[in-house]
Amino acid sequence: MPVETFLHALTSYFVIIDPLGAAVIFYALTDGKGRTYRVNMALKSIAVSTCIILAFGFFGESILTRLGISIEALRVAGGLLLFYTAFHMITGAETKTDGESLQGLTDISVYPMSIPLLSGPGCLTLTILLFSGASGTAEVVSVMGSVLIINGITLAAFLFSDAIMKCIGSTGDDIIKRLFGVILAALAIQFIADGIRQLASI
């Protein structure tokens, strides 16, 4: 397993999915619903988001090809989208999910947990870029492994979201989100630079 590819994908997914931040939202949506409900929603959310991410990883590039969109153009567009996401993470201007307004939902696994929180546009764009950049079976397996590991970490964060909330609180969540935003912004700039370089060489 190529270590560099694996670590790059692992870090990228950890930043864009943000297991701790997602756990805080999960806690708000499931607070007072009972342990069985929380476990079911956690398992279903992770299962749905994992399937969506892997589906985009394997078939996303072929869909783009049919639409006449080059992977180089996607790198630039995806980098801009990731930078937009990072900007809002850093400035705190993102629209946060209102737990109280969604408390009436009986099934939160698809919306809002899987889409848009765990497998939103930024994550799916990142997925296509990582899978398209993987050369050979070993690198593809590395990226797949990173997806499964991060979603496993996210599942654990969901199951222990009450303890996490007590430890980090809202202030800790804001600090983590901004730090991840800086890392994601750097990743986005790298995607844009690579895309422009490849477009210029065509």
23-44 residue pLDDT tens? 988 987 887 788 999 999 999 9
Q: Residue 82 pLDDT > 80, yes or no?
A: no
φ/ψ of 185, rounded to 5, equals -65, -40
Whole-number pLDDT of residue 190 = 86
- For every residue of 160-186, DSSP letters joined together read THHHHHHHHHHHHHHHHHHHHHHHHHH
Percentage with pLDDT > 70 across the chain: 93
Higher-scoring residue by pLDDT: 202, 196:
196
Higher-scoring residue by pLDDT: 119, 24:
119
Whole-number pLDDT of residue 179 = 83
| Residue 31 CA: distances (Å) to CA of 23, 58, 75, 130, 199 | 12, 36, 39, 35, 49
- Sequence letter at residue 199: L
Of the candidates 41, 12, 45, the residue with the CA atom closest to the CA atom of residue 118 = 45
Angstrom distance (rounded) from CA 143 to CA 91: 30
Q: Residue 104: pLDDT band by 50, 70, 90 thresholds?
A: low
Q: Residue 100 pLDDT > 80, yes or no?
A: no
Of the candidates 175, 50, 59, the residue with the CA atom closest to the CA atom of residue 123 = 50
Reported residue count of the chain is 202
Whole-number pLDDT of residue 12 = 93
Pull the structure tokens for residue 140: 């593809």
Q: Residue 102 pLDDT > 60, yes or no?
A: no
